[in-house]
Structure 1
Amino acid sequence: MNKPLVSIIIPTFNKAKLAIETFKSIANQSYTNWECIIVDDGSVAGDYKVLHTFVKSDKRFSLHKRPINKKKGANACRNYGLSLSKGHYIQFFDSDDVMLENCLEGRVEAIEPLNLDLVIFSMGIYCKGGFKNDDTSDVMVNTWETALSAFVGKKRLPWNLQRTLYRASLIKERIIFDENLNRFQDVEFNIRLLSQLKPKFKIFSQIDCVYRRANSSNPRTKSFYKDVFQSIPIFLESIHTEIPSDILEHNRDNLKIWLFNLIGLYANKSLQKGELNTVINVAKEKLYLSNKQKIILNLLFFSKTKLKGIKGVVRLNSYLRKNYIKLNA
């Protein structure tokens, strides 16, 4: 079988120890015709030196610094890496996840004979004794229209970038990542890709890579929570443009619940009220939030940022959720 070149593009920032584990999993791939383009987003000198030392051990790896004229962030790094790539296929990956040994081989063997634009595989999640697959049957869609609907549906289609191998001719010079978006990057990119390019694809249930959740050895960045709140309005503006109105209308209540869940999960004392106001103003226009729902979101934000740890706050949040959902009926 022909062995086309696969370009693996990885942004990295201050995670040298985890990144080396990721790079080793790539070096150990059964499929050997690949290039790995690592784009550093401004790591401290010590971390960068560790990356540089590793890269010298295998000429298929190359290390680049994000150009100074590019906005800081993983999306700018991905766009720069894409511009440098030479592969027939593109594999975006993160510097804290791991490829299983047959990951690239299985994906190339899946996409080649069917002449598909992209293939999507399942991703494991580390747990005691190994890893598990959290996918459910509802992710097995087969058209771009059903995929678009699933991305904003009740259970949310989990197509992160690590799962997906793209044909380079589908995306190069046709679509790039939004460099203003620091969170929801995978979902927003894939929604635009589906809407604009209408690709042929197939989903496979086989696990061929593993995701590492945030923990003490893989901490979130200091800006994580601010990034979430700053990205919500950008994401809502994008999907309002890209997703057909009938699909949006059908899933508007799901998106309202998604918004409630995000505020409940990520509101903390590092955030200012103005950041919530920006989110709510855009959500009111795009999701048709009622005034009562706006009040509930404000109360939820106050509960999460000011009342954490106080007796009865869990019951309060449960009460807010119940009434918020009731207003969708």
Structure 2
Amino acid sequence: MSSIPKVSIIMATYNRAHFIVETLQSIQNQTFEDWECLIIDDGGNDNTKEKIIPILQNDHRFRFVKRSDNYKKGLPGCRNYGLDLAKGDCVIFFDDDDIVHPQNLEISFFELTKGDVSFCRYIREVFRGDFNYNFDYSKDYDSFYIDKNDVEKILKNELPINSCAVLWKKECFKNNRFEEHLMYAEEWELYSRIISLGFVGISIEKCLFFGRKHLKSNTGEFYSNNPIRRESKKNAILLIIQNLERQKLLSDSLLRYFIQTSLSFKEYQLFDKIINNLEISKTSKIKWRLFYFVLPFRLILYRVYKKKSRN
């Protein structure tokens, strides 16, 4: 590895001694070797460091550091700290409980060298339990470009951009960082914001990352109705709408999507917060309030229609 690595891997960790060794070994198995891996400890109290000491001692591309108190506790703060420590011109965020395809960095870095693009997005699959190491090593895949015209598809999850499924040129983060008060959906907010600013990337139709599904993950906690994760999703939605308005990208279709989503966040009065913060006319606000009022009935009718059509 050169004194200045081409890629900086940023990994936040918190009490993952039972998973992290397998994750780090999958990073060691990369066919692309010019990287550093910054493991940012978020104040865990298990034996994570003791578990990985053999790896730290034998492979100096890994570096284990405690999160600085200048950054808020949590995943976003750890990642922002990692961005400030990173030496590489490209950065990627890996979680501490997943498995990385051996060709991940080789293929995604190669894509960044081919044209004037700022990020490479690839496919991420999920697994439960033990991982099957039967990798597909093919280099034949389709690709397409992503730009700000795709923000709507990204936000609606029609074009998912997961936290660990993108290699970025570090320039994307020069004026863009994770919102440290967010404890869920922080990458959804940041990545859509970056792309809305005009950064163009390439998406390749090849799976290069495997996310482990378990209840203790942030996503698992969100779908278990953890109030911290739910409130963070609400806050992320409000930040996204503010940014879309600034960039003149808030379409009626997107607004309709977020208003429909707000039905699931009634305890936070999300709909009222969305409408009250919009820079629209009183007439438009009345229109959207009417839409919100009749929306539950429309959804009931839609479900009845779908059920009948299946029969």
TM-score by length of 2: 0.78
Q: Where in structure 2 are the equivalents of 1:33-112 lying within 5 Å?
A: 33-112=34-113
Q: How far apart in 1 are the matches of 2:148 and 2:219?
A: 36
Aligned counterpart for 2:273 among listed residues 276, 282, 285? 282
The answer on whether the counterparts of 1:13 and 1:40 sit within 8 Å (CA) in structure 2 is: yes
The answer on whether the counterparts of 1:96 and 1:218 sit within 8 Å (CA) in structure 2 is: no
Q: 1:162 — aligned with what?
A: 164
Question: Structure 2: which amino acid aligns with 1:170?
Answer: C
Deviation at 1:200, TM superposition (A): 2.2
Q: 1:191 — aligned with what?
A: 192
The answer on whether the counterparts of 1:6 and 1:88 sit within 8 Å (CA) in structure 2 is: yes
The answer on whether the counterparts of 2:37 and 2:62 sit within 8 Å (CA) in structure 1 is: yes
Q: How far apart in 1 are the matches of 2:219 and 2:260?
A: 27
Q: How far apart in 1 are the matches of 2:89 and 2:171?
A: 7
Aligned-pair Cα RMSD in Å? 3.6
Secondary structure, aligned partner of 2:226: helix
The answer on whether the counterparts of 2:76 and 2:180 sit within 8 Å (CA) in structure 1 is: yes
Deviation at 1:151, TM superposition (A): 2.1
Deviation at 1:218, TM superposition (A): 9.7
Q: How far apart in 2 are the matches of 1:81 and 1:68?
A: 13
Pick closer, same or farther for the CA change 1:286–1:125 going to 2, 3 Å.
Answer: farther
Q: How far apart in 2 are the matches of 1:292 and 1:63?
A: 51
Secondary structure, aligned partner of 1:38: strand
Q: Where in structure 2 are the equivalents of 1:270-309 lying within 5 Å?
A: 276-285=267-276, 290=289, 293=292
Gaps of 5+ in 1: 133-139, 264-274, 298-318
% of aligned pairs identical? Answer: 23
Pick closer, same or farther for the CA change 1:295–1:283 going to 2, 3 Å.
Answer: farther
Deviation at 1:210, TM superposition (A): 0.7
Secondary structure, aligned partner of 1:161: coil
Pick closer, same or farther for the CA change 1:18–1:145 going to 2, 3 Å.
Answer: same
Q: How far apart in 2 are the matches of 1:218 and 1:187?
A: 13
Deviation at 1:254, TM superposition (A): 1.9
Pick closer, same or farther for the CA change 1:323–1:19 going to 2, 3 Å.
Answer: farther
- Give the aligned length: 284
Gaps of 5+ in 2: 136-142, 279-284, 305-311
Question: Structure 2: which amino acid aligns with 1:152?
Answer: L
Deviations 1:136-183 (A, max 9, x none): xxxx76342222121233x44210121111112332x32111101111
TM-score by length of 1: 0.74
Aligned counterpart for 2:300 among listed residues 307, 311, 322? 322
Pick closer, same or farther for the CA change 1:321–1:107 going to 2, 3 Å.
Answer: same
Deviation at 1:79, TM superposition (A): 0.4
Deviations 1:268-322 (A, max 9, x none): xxxxxxx81353542453586637957999xxxxxxxxxxxxxxxxxxxxx8952
